[in-house]
Structure 1
């Protein structure tokens, strides 16, 4: 994948790997902890809105403390507006799906994004993906079909739409980011993306569903956990991309659904069905094969 070779910053690979690993573990834990927040009375829209403003505050302070200027040129700002709108949906969809479907299924649905990044890249580069990549696509999407095909009627369609929608949004955003943000400070870009996402959610959520705070102490703990885990992890992921590239970041990010599934089992005793486990293994296997194909290419 061209973005991996062109997007990596020399000398920053060790830091990039550390950032990507920390981000993946934090994001995986956040998906599982979200269930505690929802059982405590809050909802995905409310958590997503608070989390967006937390990211704005965190990244903004980080930029100021490190001496970065927050001003960007008009073209970069317009890109940030588009990317931030997608980020707002990702903030909501990835976590919001957990209210309607099992944690493991929600985590794996989001991981439609790595194959989509490869598809979008092949289309934009106007090149045939190759037999190995094509096989990886078929395995990953076949796994998704297996995971959802058996017992599909028992899975809430709202949760499925939120989870898959977040994955599609991530695929578009990662492709977009890796192509137009080269040479720009990733933290400053992240600040403007998060600010856009926060403004969009702050307008849309009160108007459509309203803000719903947790009703129990445990709900507040769960909501705070999601905000802290995702709020700290998302900037780390975007900071890793320019250091090790979009493809390598996506490989490491495969730890996210594994972390979510293990955490859901430990916290709630939530086990996946045999078909969901088999489908999830196919999804992860297809993603790893896709990354191998990119390396060989």
Structure 2
């Protein structure tokens, strides 16, 4: 019993750490994506590079590990479907910023942990007390306070499309995390993501070749930002699914919900976008709430 308890605690903190690093890596990727756009890259070029780099990394990882790539037909179909959802999530989120400010898009997108929590609670898959739900709501309120501190968050009727795109993108990610738990019961994260990236890359490749026009950076800094964004996106996604494998989709989503805060902090460092007092207060509320949730949901000895 003591051994199992220690193992559970180890998995909990390892998975929580992976989720936190995923949130930071994702935020860094968003900041570098903004820089890549400034240097001439467009949405389709960024997604194509992301998918190609990700698929290449997975192929190398699977080859080096000597893992078997055989998979049952039903699980193959699930992985391919998850890849299509991953592709949709990437396109929808990045497309939403064409209609609404980036901060608003991130705020709407990061309602996905609430979706997962409510689904898990409603279906009885995970016990979450009213205190836990209240603290999660407090974390989201902190995000609202943080993002509402920006003067760029005023959105009129023209923003309804952007809000819808960001919200559907959040639904896609919530669905991916929930469905991936079932696949991870019988498959390793590497194999699952390999087949996911096959389908995602196929979709992105088709769009790039036959639908969209690609534009690339015009300078070395632009290529550096594009490359860094792609690498960090791969790191963030790998860590995200590793966290799901270790602690489940709900705990992963709780910690990943801090990503907008890290994006603002990195925005100060990289882009010179300073936080005002209201944003600092909101960020502090979110981080404190997430830390409290970690304590509430920790494995009991």
TM-score under structure 1 length normalisation? 0.79
CA–CA separation in structure 1 for the residues paired with 2:299 and 2:18: 25
Instruction: Tell me if 1:152 matches 2:154.
Output: yes
Q: Name the counterpart of 1:131.
A: 130
Secondary structure class of the residue paired with 1:211: coil
- Deviations, residues 179-213 of structure 1 (Å, cap 9, x unaligned): 34313111100111111111122223444432222
Q: CA deviation at 1:23?
A: 3.0
Instruction: Tell me if 1:229 matches 2:232.
Output: yes
Q: CA deviation at 1:90?
A: 2.7
Q: Name the counterpart of 2:274.
A: 271
Q: Name the counterpart of 1:201.
A: 204
Gapped runs of 5+ residues in structure 1? none
CA–CA separation in structure 2 for the residues paired with 1:148 and 1:10: 37
CA–CA separation in structure 1 for the residues paired with 2:279 and 2:113: 19
CA–CA separation in structure 2 for the residues paired with 1:10 and 1:145: 32
- Deviations, residues 151-190 of structure 1 (Å, cap 9, x unaligned): 4227965654454433322112111212343131111001
CA–CA separation in structure 2 for the residues paired with 1:166 and 1:268: 25
Instruction: Tell me if 1:122 matches 2:125.
Output: no
Going from structure 1 to structure 2, the CA distance change for 1:253 and 1:130 (only over 3 Å counts) comes to closer
Q: Which moved more, 1:66-75 or 1:256-265?
A: 256-265
Bigger radius of gyration: 2
Superposition pairs for residues 252-263 of structure 1, below 5 Å?
Answer: 252-254=255-257, 256-263=259-266
Q: Name the counterpart of 2:177.
A: 174
TM-score under structure 2 length normalisation? 0.78
CA–CA separation in structure 2 for the residues paired with 1:17 and 1:139: 19
CA–CA separation in structure 1 for the residues paired with 2:297 and 2:36: 39
| Contact 1:81-1:192 at 8 Å conserved across structures | yes
CA–CA separation in structure 1 for the residues paired with 2:213 and 2:64: 34
Q: CA RMSD in A?
A: 3.7
Corresponding pairs, count: 291
- Deviations, residues 36-63 of structure 1 (Å, cap 9, x unaligned): 1000111223211221121111011101
| Contact 1:36-1:222 at 8 Å conserved across structures | yes
Secondary structure class of the residue paired with 2:268: helix
CA–CA separation in structure 2 for the residues paired with 1:109 and 1:148: 12
